Structure 1
């Protein structure tokens, strides 16, 4: 898996997300159509694991979290940016999602959860905020951010 191949795989997914509201309906649809038992999930998880192992994903570290924005928002990604984090039993920095956020939760060991959710998708609506938390082990989390918008806070 190369960054170019990864980008093409993400673009295939974001084409299905373009123009959709980031809400509970999208959350349910993603988990039904591309959930933890699907080929999409298995392919994306394998790609993320390979990217981390090769060093082109999660190439930065701070506060016990490995992270990195692999792609800025672009037309071929339908306006989404792509970030991946590698977290183990830790809470990350509080932030707001002005345009929402779509997360793919990929436990690596244990029964890791992200914000209390197991393997699969979590859609955070526009204006939502959280302190992203992985508990119960280690997980990779892929973030799709419309227009790359995220605002870190002091909370």
Structure 2
């Protein structure tokens, strides 16, 4: 797996979600069509695990969280940026999502949950806020941010 191959995987997915509202309907659709157990989920999880192992994903660390923005928003990614975090039984910094956020939750140890959700997708609507929290183990979480927008709370 390479960053270029990973970008291709993301671009194929974002082609299906571009222009859709970030809401409960998108959350349900992603989990039904690309959720845990699907080929898309397995491929993205394998790519993220390889990227972490090879050092091109989650190449920074702060406050006990490994993280990194692998791709800035771009036309081929349909305006989404791509970040991946590696978290184990920890809460991250509070932030808001001006344009919403789409998260792929990939447990790697235990029965890890992200904001209480198991493996699969979580769609946060525009204007939502949270303190991203992983409990019950370790998870990789892929973030798709429209226009790369995220505002950390001071």
Is the TM-score greater than 0.5?
Answer: yes
**What corresponds to 1:21 in structure 2?**
21
How far apart in 1 are the matches of 2:66 and 2:35? 24
Q: Report runs of 4+ in structure 1 exceeding 2 Å deviation.
A: none
How far apart in 1 are the matches of 2:32 and 2:15? 17
**TM-score where L is the length of structure 2:** 1.00
Q: For residues 4-153 of structure 1, what are the structure 2 equivalents within 5 Å?
A: 4-153=4-153
**1:43: Cα distance to partner?**
0.2
Unaligned runs of 5+ in 1: none
Q: What whole-Å deviation, never above 9, does each CA across 1:83-116 have from its counterpart, x for those lacking one? A: 0000000000000000000000000010000000
Unaligned runs of 5+ in 2: none
How far apart in 1 are the matches of 2:153 and 2:35? 31
**TM-score where L is the length of structure 1:** 0.99
Q: What whole-Å deviation, never above 9, does each CA across 1:51-98 have from its counterpart, x for those lacking one? A: 000000000000000000000000000000000000000000000000
* TM-align CA RMSD: 0.3
Q: Is the partner of 2:51 in helix, strand or coil?
A: helix
How far apart in 1 are the matches of 2:35 and 2:82? 18
**1:2: Cα distance to partner?**
0.1
How far apart in 1 are the matches of 2:118 and 2:137? 11
State how many pairs are aligned.
Answer: 154
How far apart in 2 are the matches of 1:99 and 1:35? 22
Q: What whole-Å deviation, never above 9, does each CA across 1:128-155 have from its counterpart, x for those lacking one? A: 000000000000000000000000003x
